[in-house]
Amino acid sequence: MQQITLRRPDDWHLHLRDGPMLEGIVGESARDFARAIVMPNLVPPVVTRADALAYRDRIRAALGDDPFRPCMTLYLTEATDPDDVAAAAEDGLVTAVKLYPAGATTNSQSGVRDLGEVMPVLERMAAIGLPLCIHGEVTTPEVDIFDREAVFIETVLDPLRARLPELRITLEHVTTKDGVDYVREAEKNLACTLTTHHLVIDRNHMLVGGIRPHYYCLPIVKRAEHKRALRAAAVSGDARIFLGTDSAPHVDAAKETGCGCAGVFSATNTLPILAQVFEEDGALDRLEAFTSLNGAAWYGMDPNEATITLERSDDPVTFPARIETGAGPVTVFDPQMEIHWRVAR
């Protein structure tokens, strides 16, 4: 049987939610990953150092004695206090601050409308080396939803980087060729995460032959040519490019409805799917860089000492279709391809 052993992976973009949902899904990430950057878009959002401390306690309580480490983020608002951010960074509580343009996605109402308003926070972050994670989409109603990432890069990200070149930026869940090209051309202080699902599905999977609400996420999945560019970037080994699953659970009732929520839940089967993708692209030897090395280096952490082994079987492997949580059932990402890899237990 073919096997591959990697340093234990980390997930540099994860939604763990709260309450019964948190309790129901956190184990799906803790099973295969050592650490994750936890997104702060709760209701109400995780804005202050005190909010992050309390949320980390709730996550730790849900984990019990599991050693999985939540790396906390603060949700940037126009009222965020630079001193509070600096204090949270100084004691290692937060790993990054998250910028949601107001209205861009789930629970982003409290996000930023005018970047000018948060410049004092961003300047402080640049000075202390605290990274900014960005949901990179404009929210201008006239801009087509499929163009929002490319327009953001040109009209918001590039000017911001010119204005504050010392700010370290992670462009989250890049979904376009424009996005990966931009990151790869940058000289410094820019990296990006890629999700599992954007490496596997394109907009045809979501819309041809019926609408598949479990593939609806933000940024929305694009044309196949963009998916091909993302895959090429993921398997390239480029140190600025690494995994952030954006695994984002919503109960099925909130997805399978007249106006469904954005989010794909992929924590359960991400690593087997990625092994399949990297095998198909002849790059299994670079899987570890993507899942376990590049992101840690970017965030100034050592790679995990522990390892994980993936094994290949000739027969396709199956995964649970859904996870039952106290909040309701959550459908697991269906990659619509045969997966021959599993995590050895």
How far apart are the C-alpha atoms of 14 and 197, rounded to whole Å?
A: 13
x/- map, 148-187, ligand DOR, by CB under 6 A = ----------------------------------------
Helix (H/G/I), strand (E/B), else coil: 94: strand
**CA–CA dist 187, 185 (Å, integer):** 6
Kindly state the smallest distance separating residue 183's Cβ from ligand DOR, in Å.
18
Q: Which amino acid does the sequence have at 228?
A: R
Closest C-alpha to 196, from 313, 20, 336, 304: 336
What is the per-residue binding string for ligand DOR in 122-141, x denoting contact by CB under 6 A? -------------x------
Provide CB contacts within 8 A for 277, sequence distance 6+: 199, 200, 231, 234, 235
CA dist 272 and 280 (Å) reads 12
Which residue's entry shows tokens 């343009």? Answer: 101
Provide the Cα torsion 83, 85, 86, 92; round to 10°.
Answer: 150
User: Active-site residue 246, yes or no?
Assistant: yes
Active-site residue among 10, 238, 246, 334? 246
Beta carbons within 10 angstroms of residue 33's beta carbon: 26
DSSP string, 206-247: HHTTS--GGG--SSPP--HHHHHHHHHHHHT--TTEEE---B
Which of 246/288 has CB closer to Zn ion? 246
CA-to-CA separations, 210 to 32, 205, 206, 225, in angstroms, rounded: 33, 9, 8, 21
Q: Which is nearer to ligand DOR, 199 or 287 (CB)?
A: 199
Q: Binding partner of residue 276 among Zn ion, ligand DOR, none, CB under 5 to 8 Å per kind?
A: none
Part of the chain binding Zn ion (CB under 5 A), chosen from 49-57, 71-79, 242-250, 327-335: 242-250
Nearest-approach distance from CB 164 to ligand DOR, in angstroms: 23
CB of 96 to Zn ion, least distance (A): 13
**Which of 51, 246, 288, 334 touches Zn ion by CB under 5 A?**
246
User: Of these partners, Zn ion, ligand DOR, none, which one is at the site of residue 262 (CB under 5 to 8 Å by kind)?
Assistant: ligand DOR
The interface mask with ligand DOR, positions 82-121, x = CB under 6 A, is: -----------------------xx---------------
Binding mask 94-123 for Zn ion (x = CB under 5 A): ------------------------------
Separation between Cα atoms, residue 318 and residue 272, nearest integer Å: 10
Which CB sits closer to Zn ion, 183 or 308?
A: 183
What the block records as the tokens of 142 is: 């006239």
**Ranges of H-type helices in 219-339:** 224-235, 252-255, 270-280, 287-288, 294-298
Among ligand DOR, Zn ion, none, partner that 21 touches (CB below 5 to 8 angstroms by kind)? none
| Closest listed residue to residue 15, CA positions, set 339, 174, 248, 201 | 248
Closer by beta carbon to ligand DOR, 106 or else 189: 106
Residues 259-318 that bind ligand DOR (CB under 6 A): 262-263
- Tell me which residues in 181-240 interact with ligand DOR (CB under 6 A): 217-218
Question: Residue 217's binding partner, choosing from ligand DOR, Zn ion, none, with beta-carbon cut-off 5 to 8 A by kind?
Answer: ligand DOR
Q: Toward Zn ion, which CB reaches closer, 134 or 283?
A: 134
Interface residues toward Zn ion, by CB under 5 A: 246
Interface residues toward ligand DOR, by CB under 6 A: 15, 41, 105-106, 135, 217-218, 248, 262-263
Q: Which residue numbers are catalytic?
A: 246
